[in-house]
Amino acid sequence: MVKKAYVFPGQAAQFVGMGKDLYENSSLAQELFERANAILGYRISDIMFQGTDADLKQTKVTQPSVFLHSVIKARLAGDHFRPAAVAGHSLGEFSALTAAGSLDFEAGLRLVQQRALAMQAACEAVESTMAAVLGLSDEAIERICLEISHETGGIVVPANYNCPGQLVISGDVPTIAKAIERLKAAGAKRAIVLQVGGAFHSPCMKPAEEALRDSIQHTLFKKPICPIYQNVDAKPHTDPKIIKENLIRQLTAPVRWTQIMRNMLADHINHITECGGSGTVLRGFFRQVDKQLANDSL
């Protein structure tokens, strides 16, 4: 029996021209893009279809663009979209909740817009960044981050547990630089600063979390059509109250994607479909956990 989970990518899944083929070949996609343009108050479809890579890398543009691409792809699947479970990487959690019927299209898009603006403002308030660490155990990275934080009083924390052997750290620029030196000395194959706007999933995002809290609390969330494995605890949930609480905590807590994958496999998920972006990033993470897992993309 096939037990399929749909997974939704986060920021960095954008690409020039994303969604243009959907718009040109589907009246439903046209309708949803035009609704999005009206909701946002500007033609995001024009930026997605014709904008440059630099245009799409702006957090305030990236997040709604990736959300729209994923959600519209799920909508176009129609009756074939029958997940046993869903999950989304960071921003992708909003896409997953919308695709699974917990959020309606407008509410999901408005929350993503507010999230993007709040995160961009938090990024501008402090000089911060992220770095990818490859080839070192999660436990070693956690220990080194904790040691350096205690030594310096700065911020450096695990942010994205992407897959075994790949963890992204997040924090202020000077402390990240010290962490990179220490991690390389400890045997990391690579430890490289990422080209991102700031320190996502770290205490640097506390102002964004506070800005988004009221919006999430006052938005109607319904019980999704299937469990959603959430970033903050990697566990499946269907209770709207718990989903909201986890979503509020998500901005300052790490994305536990490695743990989500392992929990899905333990719960007998045997097929993964990636919905949005290039359709390859999250599938690649799953292959690091189970090379034989059936997978595809929409």
Is residue 47 in a domain? yes
- 15, 98: one domain: yes
- Domain end, chosen from 193, 220, 238, is at 193
Whose tokens are 């999660």? That residue is 138
**Distance in angstroms (rounded) separating the CA atoms of residues 266 and 276:** 25
Is residue 198 in a domain? no
- Domain end, chosen from 193, 212, 230, is at 193
Q: What domain range includes position 164?
A: 127-193
Confidence of residue 12 (pLDDT cuts 50, 70, 90): confident
- 109, 143: one domain: no
- 94, 180: one domain: no
Is residue 39 in a domain? yes
Q: What is the pLDDT of residue 110?
A: 97
**Distance in angstroms (rounded) separating the CA atoms of residues 77 and 15:** 21
Assess contact for 261 and 163: CB atoms under 8 A. yes
Is residue 212 in a domain? yes
Confidence of residue 58 (pLDDT cuts 50, 70, 90): confident
- 50, 172: one domain: no
Is residue 270 in a domain? yes
Mark whether 237 is an active-site residue.
no
- 255, 179: one domain: no
This prediction has a pTM of: 0.95
Is residue 285 in a domain? yes
- 72, 145: one domain: no
- Domain end, chosen from 143, 167, 193, is at 193
Q: What is the pLDDT of residue 276?
A: 95
Whose tokens are 């904790």? That residue is 146
Q: Which domain CATH number covers 184?
A: 3.30.70.250
**Distance in angstroms (rounded) separating the CA atoms of residues 285 and 162:** 7
- 17, 112: one domain: yes
- The active-site residue, picked from 45, 69, 95, 201, is 201
Confidence of residue 197 (pLDDT cuts 50, 70, 90): confident
- 118, 236: one domain: yes
Residue range 19-46: mean pLDDT, rounded: 96
Q: What is the pLDDT of residue 154?
A: 95
Q: What is the pLDDT of residue 65?
A: 96
Give the model confidence (pLDDT) of 99-153 as tens digits: 999 999 999 999 999 999 999 898 888 889 999 999 999 999 999 999 999 999 9
Comparing C-alpha atoms, which of 106, 86, 110, 82 is closest to residue 97? 86
Residue 163 has a CB neighbour count (10 Å cut-off) of 17
Q: Which domain CATH number covers 17?
A: 3.40.366.10
Q: What is the pLDDT of residue 57?
A: 84
- 77, 216: one domain: yes
Sheet (strand 166-172) strand order: 156-163, 166-172, 128-134, 190-193
- % pLDDT > 70, the chain: 100
| 3-class state of residue 3 by DSSP | coil
- 113, 139: one domain: no
- % pLDDT > 90, the chain: 88
Beta-sheet strands, E only, within the chain: 4-8, 85-88, 128-134, 156-163, 166-172, 190-193, 228-229, 236-237, 271-274, 294-297
Mark whether 102 is an active-site residue.
no
- The active-site residue, picked from 45, 90, 128, 202, is 90
Is residue 237 in a domain? yes
What is the total count of domains within the chain? 2
- Give residue 185's Cα distance to chain centre: 30
- 65, 82: one domain: yes
pLDDT at 195 over 80: no
Assess contact for 276 and 13: CB atoms under 8 A. yes
Is residue 255 in a domain? yes
- 37, 79: one domain: yes
Q: What angle do CA 241, 247, 250 make, to 5 degrees?
A: 145
